[in-house]
């Protein structure tokens, strides 16, 4: 595992612009295990995608509820961009999730969606608006480091089936563009270190538990649970040397530092590098 030196830098000037892509995923049916023909990692990413539409609506609501407390000249514009981008992500991943269900996994998908909605309903009911924003800031760190792994590793993007590659690259670009929005707003509202860590740790634990459980259900449905070699291969690709998940663990820890800021790792050059690879679309006005 390669550790990168992290330098403290200023937030780069980035325009946070929503873009509706209208992906159709033509050809996905030819390779259902769309990530590297690997059932384990494909289902891990599928299960994560299931959480996006409802999860990102929660992010939007938590930011919108406290946006009037934002300080700084460009903050309202950035928040509008964030809200617009997450709304687009919900729509595009909903289309992708409809394909994942595809008859074979309907009951598992419905169960996963019901659990997600129940967890989020509990969060809305029992957590204060400030705590909900803290949770959003922490979960946005997780999406940002996964996005960084995708954009920094062309070899990972190459392993995705062409029909879904643009969805994940587009989402990774926009998660990078707006990675500091919820965090900066939380700092404006409270800057409570312990609350930030509590919600980050519990959010991380829920995400790991949820993803592991439902990935296992999908693997069982496919009969992969009886194929130890396939399982071991998938786990190695996820958690072994330069694995998809293991490579983001050092960046996950960086959130625990009291003086952390999402842009201390300035990966903004990756945005321009990858944007040229996407189909050109008309940009949406921010919400």
Q: Which is nearer to Fe ion, 203 or 234 (CB)?
A: 203
**Is residue 12 classed as helix, strand or coil in its secondary structure?**
coil
Token pair for 51: 């959480």
Choices 84-92, 192-200, 217-225, 273-281 (CB under 5 A): range interacting with Fe ion? 84-92
> In whole angstroms, how close is the CB of 224 to Fe ion at the nearest point?
28
Token pair for 181: 């929005």
Q: Does 196 participate in binding Fe ion (rule CB under 5 A)? A: no
> In whole angstroms, how close is the CB of 134 to Fe ion at the nearest point?
15
* Out of 43, 67, 89, 93, the residue judged to bind Fe ion by CB under 5 A: 89
Q: Which is nearer to Fe ion, 235 or 270 (CB)?
A: 270
Q: How many whole angstroms separate alpha carbon 11 and alpha carbon 226?
A: 48
Q: Which is nearer to Fe ion, 112 or 137 (CB)?
A: 137
CA-based radius of gyration for the chain: 18
Q: Which is nearer to Fe ion, 16 or 112 (CB)?
A: 16
Q: Which is nearer to Fe ion, 175 or 184 (CB)?
A: 175
> In whole angstroms, how close is the CB of 171 to Fe ion at the nearest point?
6
- Identify whether the C-beta of residue 36 lies closer than 8 Å to the C-beta of residue 161: no
> Of all residues in this chain, which one has the CB nearest to Fe ion in the complex?
89
Dmax (CA) of the chain: 57
Query: Which residue, among 196, 182, 176, 161, has the nearest Cα to 266 in the 3D structure?
Result: 176
> In whole angstroms, how close is the CB of 37 to Fe ion at the nearest point?
26
Residues that bind Fe ion (rule: CB under 5 A) add up to a total of: 3
Give Cβ neighbours of residue 29 (< 8 Å, ≥ 6 apart).
Answer: none
Residues 149-188 as x/- pattern, contact with Fe ion by CB under 5 A: --------------------------x-------------
Q: Which residues bind Fe ion (CB under 5 A)?
A: 56, 89, 175
């Amino acid at each position: 595992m390669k550790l990168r030196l992290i330098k403290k830098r200023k937030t780069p000037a980035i325009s946070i612009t929503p873009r509706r892509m209208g992906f159709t995923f033509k050809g996905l049916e030819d390779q259902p295990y769309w990530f590297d023909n690997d059932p384990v990692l494909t289902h891990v990413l599928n299960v994560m995608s299931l959480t996006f539409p409802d999860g990102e609506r929660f992010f939007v609501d938590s930011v919108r509820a406290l946006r009037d407390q934002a300080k700084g000249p460009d903050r309202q514009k950035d928040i509008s961009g964030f809200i617009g981008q997450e709304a687009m992500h919900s729509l595009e991943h909903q289309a992708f999730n409809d394909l994942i269900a595809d008859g074979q996994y309907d009951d598992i998908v419905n169960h996963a969606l019901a659990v997600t909605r129940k967890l989020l309903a509990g969060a809305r009911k029992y957590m204060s608006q400030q705590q909900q924003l803290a949770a959003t800031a922490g979960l946005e760190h997780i999406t940002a480091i996964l996005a960084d792994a995708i954009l920094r590793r062309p070899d990972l993007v190459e392993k995705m089936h062409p029909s879904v590659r643009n969805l994940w690259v587009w989402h990774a670009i926009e998660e990078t563009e707006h990675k500091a929005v919820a965090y900066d707003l939380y700092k404006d509202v409270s800057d409570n270190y312990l609350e930030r860590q509590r919600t980050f740790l519990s959010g991380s634990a829920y995400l790991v538990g949820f993803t592991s459980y439902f990935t296992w259900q999908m693997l069982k449905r496919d009969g992969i649970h009886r194929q130890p070699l396939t399982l071991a291969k998938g786990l190695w690709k996820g958690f072994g040397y330069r694995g998809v998940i293991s490579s983001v663990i050092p960046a996950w820890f960086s959130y625990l530092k009291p003086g952390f800021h999402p842009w201390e790792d300035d990966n903004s050059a990756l945005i321009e590098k990858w944007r040229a690879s996407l189909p050109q679309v008309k940009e949406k006005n921010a919400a």
